[in-house]
Amino acid sequence: MNRTIETLWEKKGFICDMDGVIYHGNKVLPGVHEFISWLEKNNKNYIFLTNSSERSPRELRQKLLRMGLDVDESHFYTSALATASFLASQCPGGSAYVIGEPGLVYALYEAGFSMNDVNPDYVVVGETSTYSYEKILKAVQLVRNGAKLIGTNPDMTGPIENGIAPATRALISPIELTCGKSAYFVGKPNPLMMRHALKKLGTHRSDTVIVGDRMDTDIIAGIETEIETVLVLSGVTAMDELSQYPYQPSFVLSGVGEIPQPEKGE
């Protein structure tokens, strides 16, 4: 691949993951301030496309503000929003039993869904710190009674400040195994998420790049959408793991701080 970093400077649209790319937990990663400043200064269209379903765009904006980053909430799109949009298109005015955080519940409410722990149309699972055996039992009962099982994303793990934490696929697997049914996952690399991102950006895929830290979601999502890919080594995937995959990113960088074009004289 005869690609150089200069080709990234010419892109009009940037789709960026958040966890492992912009921050770990509540710690902003090196070079992020410079990267966002470069995007703004050069009038790039950009969107933070996260598989996390815990927070709303407003909460994500507030989280970045606490880290010293001022990004309008219009620049965020989450797997919770994509899940709510998908379910509303499948079952308008439906109901769900949710194992997840307020960002997911709010997105479903906004899409016209009601919460239901008796006979819901769907059982929806996302990341949560309130996961419990009792909630698993309830979900199993509801799925066995006919509710469809939905995961906000297929991530098995996610980066946190002091290591790696279980993510949605790990949390939903006991329900799948007990019921003998497979969940449908809406987040990356599902093309639904990528179509939403490109529509919000208003850019053609040839003028767009996706930046992420996961080969199994971010990079494969870009490849399957036919947009160039940047793997940053600041999150889940390590350099020595690349050989395990039958596909490769367009670029491999240590972090997003390597993307901005240097100022003249630097």
Burial (CB count <10 Å: 0-12, 13-18, 19+), residue 145: exposed
DSSP sequence for 4-24: -THHHHT-SEEEE--BTTTEE
Sign of the dihedral defined by the CA atoms of residues 90, 94, 96, 100, in that order: positive
Euclidean distance between CA atoms 155 and 186, whole angstroms = 11
Amino acid at 104: L
Hey, which residues are catalytic here?
A: 17, 19
Q: What is the DSSP letter of 121?
A: S
H or E stretch covering 33: helix 32-41
Q: Are 236 and 159 in contact (CB under 8 A)?
A: yes
Contact 235, 8 (CB under 8 A): no
